[in-house]
Amino acid sequence: MNAHEIDYIIYGEEMQFVEIELDPQEGVVAESGSFMMMEDDIKMDTLFGDGTQENSGFLGKLLSAGKRVLTGESLFMTVYHNEGAQKRKVSFASPYPGKIIPLDLSLEQGKFICQKNAFLCAAKGVSIGIEFSKKIGRGLFGGEGFIMQKLEGDGMAFMHAGGTIHKKELKAGERLRVDTGCVVGFSHSVRYDIEFVSGIKNTIFGGEGLYFATLQGPGVVYVQSLPFSRLADRIIASAPKSGGQRRGEGSILGGLGDILDGDNRF
């Protein structure tokens, strides 16, 4: 294997973290801000790009880092190496409620496509690049724009997504229509496109957007029940308005209901 062969355990239910066991000289690469804890003898290094361009010179490293900027990520990633003589553990936490998805790239023909910000960490040697959409419609209305993340290699990678995660295995020619924000990732053999929501009433009053994501097999598709954008919209909608007033929750009385409940202070 080109990537380091790592062992792992995922802990928790709604706010999960993954504990990775590293043999001596093994390493794992992770997004900045995902680190949780590590044992002695593990050294942390910040690198340009994803750490797969170590021997390619400055230009190769710069190209790798530039690809990450296009996906909205930092120029840098962090690599954790076990420099001791015994096995050591390092843990990475999910950034919001949801599930961590372990992904063996050797079972995915060495390539998997996922939404931006889905990547959490991976065995050192896995490449985290970009996948451009070849269709203008998909790029403009597909929820993830023209660019998605591409995981390549033969090691373990870990994605994170919100809510409950459903794995759907599509047969050749089988199609699945999904909300554009609910797509987590899919095999590179899956054909990804968008489809206009039919019916004028559905378009105007359906409240589900103008487009579906359509995924056609063969391949594996991961779908999330709670995209972070949907969670953020609900939090913003429920946040106190100007003046510190809180919107009444589930009450047709609104602000009057707050007064009756004793929530407003005079």
Distance separating alpha carbons of residues 249 and 254, to the nearest angstrom: 7
pLDDT one-digit tens code per residue, 9-19: 999 988 899 99
Question: pLDDT tens digit string along 79-108?
Answer: 999 999 999 999 999 888 899 999 999 999
Tell me: pLDDT of 20 over 70: yes
Alpha helices in 56-215 (DSSP H): 57-70, 136-141, 200-205
118 within domain boundaries: yes
Q: Which of 138-147, 153-162, 174-183, 218-227 has the lowest mean pLDDT?
A: 138-147
* pLDDT: which is higher, 196 or 168: 168
Confidence of residue 31 (pLDDT cuts 50, 70, 90): confident
Give dist(CA 141, CA 122) in Å, integer.
Answer: 30
SS3 83: coil
Domain of 27, CATH number, reads: 3.60.160.10
pTM: 0.77
Task: Report the C-alpha gap between 171 and 32 in whole angstroms.
Answer: 37
In a domain, 146, yes or no: yes
Q: What is the pLDDT of residue 227?
A: 85
Number of domains in the chain: 1
Largest CA distance in the chain: 68
Residue 110 domain flag: yes
Residue 61 resides in a domain: yes
- What pLDDT does 201 receive? 47
Has residue 136 been placed in a domain? yes
**158 lies in which domain range?**
7-238
